[in-house]
């Protein structure tokens, strides 16, 4: 793998938030140990680790990073610290998009006003919110351009969903989907692909209307797959399941950054933005969540089908100049080839399950980064 250190000093900063489940090492079902695990992990990580909505979930966030190598190193450090803390508290940390075993409904909710407010407003959606995602933040110059960058990212959401699919099983059954997390997430208000916006004023006006009507508690409960961060000067892409490995998370992040750089160049040059019909784009995201990289991709502009992997060359052509700029071309090409050959996390989970028909084996493979779920 190429060492990109020092090759992209002017590239936008990128960071990743990851969510993990905590499971019992005997039953392999989720356990509500988040407060204890976060407290232990915070001894090393400080505020880079935190609780999530569910008491069976832990979230980490990398510092802003410049290079693939730096980001990969931070992701590995965070995962190792959370894994060690979980073991110290009698649990295991599992990077998977949906709960594999058990049926912990209603989900135990973390204490605090914000979580209580979400439970009050969203009710049964919170009860069944047994999913974990990865969110990629990319630095942008200002919010006006960030909204326009969001428009350019929309058509690529189905491919990002397919590449990161890592939740085929849910509560003891095979859902038939590659990313069941994506389907669970679509039930929430203001989720899925964002609308097309002409400018930042239109974006803010819609958010104000959604907040005034009680759909959003605040701008942090805006759950589109692409949004402007309410806390950081970034655009945030939220379409992905949490990947099995730190390397796959870093790959996702540099792909998103290259897409954002390309979009920003198009915005600054005044190039027109592709604008697929909203219903076709949503349907393409559904198809990507169902079939991942092993099925047929739906073009969000036309609805035509083709093998999902066939869109990767067009992605690399589209972001090629940005990857050259950041020094990530060789790394991205190598990792995409590996992912295509070995399959997504969903594919590798199913391969483990096929050995003995055991979901216990699947959880163990995810928790220990078994070679069967680690891309080779």
299-333 pLDDT, tens digit each:
999 999 998 888 999 999 999 999 999 999 999 99
Strand, helix or coil at 234? strand
Cα distance between residue 310 and residue 50, in whole Å: 39
Cα distance between residue 227 and residue 235, in whole Å: 6
Q: Which residues contact 292 (CB under 8 A, 6 or more apart)?
A: 162, 165, 178, 179, 308, 343, 344, 346, 347
What string of DSSP letters covers 317-335?
A: HHHHHHHHHHT-HHHHHHH
Cα distance between residue 212 and residue 125, in whole Å: 21
pLDDT tens digit sequence for 170-215: 999 999 999 999 999 999 899 999 999 999 999 999 999 999 998 9
Q: What is the number of residues in the chain?
A: 376
Identify the pLDDT of residue 295: 87
Identify the pLDDT of residue 51: 92
- List phi, psi (to 5°) of 294: -90, -10
Give me the residue spans of the domains in the chain: 14-367
pLDDT tens digit sequence for 145-169: 999 999 999 999 999 999 999 999 9
Cα distance between residue 147 and residue 196, in whole Å: 9
Cα distance between residue 166 and residue 169, in whole Å: 9
Identify the pLDDT of residue 3: 33
- Could you tell me what percent of the chain has a pLDDT over 70? 95
Assign 86 a pLDDT band (cuts: 50, 70, 90): very high
Cα distance between residue 147 and residue 157, in whole Å: 16
> Quick one: CATH architecture of 14-367?
2-Layer Sandwich (3.30)
To the nearest 10°, report the CA torsion of 364, 288, 230, 99: -30
pLDDT tens digit sequence for 19-50: 999 999 999 999 999 999 999 999 999 999 99
Half-sphere exposure of 214 (CA within 13 A, CB side): 4
Asked whether residue 7 carries a pLDDT value surpassing 70, the answer given is: no
């Amino acid at each position: 793998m190429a060492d990109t250190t020092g090759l992209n000093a002017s590239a936008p900063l990128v960071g990743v938030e990851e969510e993990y489940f905590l499971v019992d090492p005997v039953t392999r079902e989720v356990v509500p140990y988040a407060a204890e695990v976060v407290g232990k992990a915070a001894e090393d990580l400080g505020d880079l680790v935190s609780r999530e909505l569910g008491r069976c979930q832990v979230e980490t966030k990398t510092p802003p990073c410049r290079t693939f190598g730096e980001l990969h190193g931070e992701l590995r450090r965070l995962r190792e610290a959370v894994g060690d803390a979980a073991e110290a508290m009698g649990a295991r940390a599992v990077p998977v998009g949906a709960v594999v075993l058990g049926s912990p409904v209603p989900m135990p909710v973390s204490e605090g006003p914000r979580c209580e407010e979400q439970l009050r407003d969203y009710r049964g959606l919170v009860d069944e919110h047994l999913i974990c995602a990865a969110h990629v933040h990319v630095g942008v110059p200002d919010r006006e351009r960030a909204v326009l960058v969001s428009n350019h990212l929309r058509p690529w959401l189905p491919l990002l969903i397919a590449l990161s699919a890592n939740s085929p099983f849910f509560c003891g059954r095979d859902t038939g989907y590659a990313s069941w997390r994506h389907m669970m997430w679509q039930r929430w208000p203001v989720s899925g692909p964002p609308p097309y916006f002409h400018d930042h004023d239109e974006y803010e006006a819609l958010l104000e209307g959604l907040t005034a009507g009680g759909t959003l508690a605040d701008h942090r409960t805006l759950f589109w797959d692409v949004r402007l961060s309410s806390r950081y000067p970034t655009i945030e892409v939220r379409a992905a399941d949490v990947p099995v490995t730190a390397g796959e998370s870093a790959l996702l992040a540099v792909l998103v950054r290259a897409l954002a750089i390309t979009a920003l160049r198009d915005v600054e040059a005044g190039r027109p933005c592709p604008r697929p019909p909203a219903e076709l784009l949503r349907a393409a995201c559904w198809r990507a969540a169902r079939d991942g990289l092993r099925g047929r991709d739906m073009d969000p502009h036309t609805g035509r089908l083709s093998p999902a992997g066939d869109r990767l060359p067009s992605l690399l052509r589209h972001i090629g100049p940005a990857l050259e700029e950041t020094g990530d071309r060789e790394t991205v090409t190598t990792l995409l080839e590996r992912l295509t050959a070995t399959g997504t996390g969903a594919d590798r989970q199913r391969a483990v399950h096929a050995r003995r028909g055991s979901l216990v084996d699947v959880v163990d493979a995810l928790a220990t980064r078994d070679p069967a779920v680690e891309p080779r």
